[in-house]
Amino acid sequence: MPKSLLARCLTALAIAAAIFTGAPAQAVAVTRSLSINDVTLIEGNSGVTDFNFTVMLGQPAYNWEVNFDIYTVESSANAGSDYIYRSEHIDIPPLEPWGGWINFTFTVEVFGDLQLEPNEFFWVEIINLVGATPGDTLGLGTIVNDDIGRQPPSVPEPGSLALLGAAGVAFTLAQRRRRPGAHAQ
């Protein structure tokens, strides 16, 4: 029996046992975690490439509803010129114990081009989550440069600022902290 099917059956049995014995709802611990993956694809030279982000619900929605908002967020890639901005409100209705919504695909259309540029990034964020615990609620979309002539930069470290110089050279500035009581030179 596949592990996900076994987990579904065990959860359904635990819920049925709680209902049959009259146990309080909190006696049946069901962990529902919602997460999104990262997607890395080549941009292409023209047309549109679909970046399919998978939103995964750790356990099927049996007797509860799960709601959330999902949308794209700019980073080095810009909505309108590099990809199409999307936002959506998702309602997962309560389902029977033997079935349930596990995966949802959120597609972001990325424009291909012939520009010499570094790799570009955008985010897909899940907010306003109700009915599940947040797992990884931030998906990274990496648009891989397929044009000749540029070395792609790496993903910037948190707390740093990634810049692209006039000559097309990518570099990162990191914030340095002064020692307490030290004076600027």
- Options 3.40.50.720, 2.60.40.2030, 3.40.190.120, 1.25.40.10; CATH of 31-149: 2.60.40.2030
Query: What pLDDT sits at residue 178?
Result: 34
The whole-number pLDDT of residue 29 equals 47
What is the model's pLDDT at position 2?
42
Which pLDDT score, from 0 to 100, does residue 57 have? Answer: 85
Q: What is the pLDDT of residue 60?
A: 62
Predicted pLDDT at 149: 63
Average pLDDT of adjacent 10-residue blocks, the chain of 185 residues: 46 52 48 90 94 87 81 97 97 64 89 92 96 93 83 52 45 39 40
Residue ranges covered by each domain of the chain: 1-30, 31-149
Distance separating alpha carbons of residues 8 and 18, to the nearest angstrom:
15
State residue 33's pLDDT score: 87
pTM of the model: 0.64
Q: Are 121 and 141 a contacting pair, CB within 8 Å?
A: yes
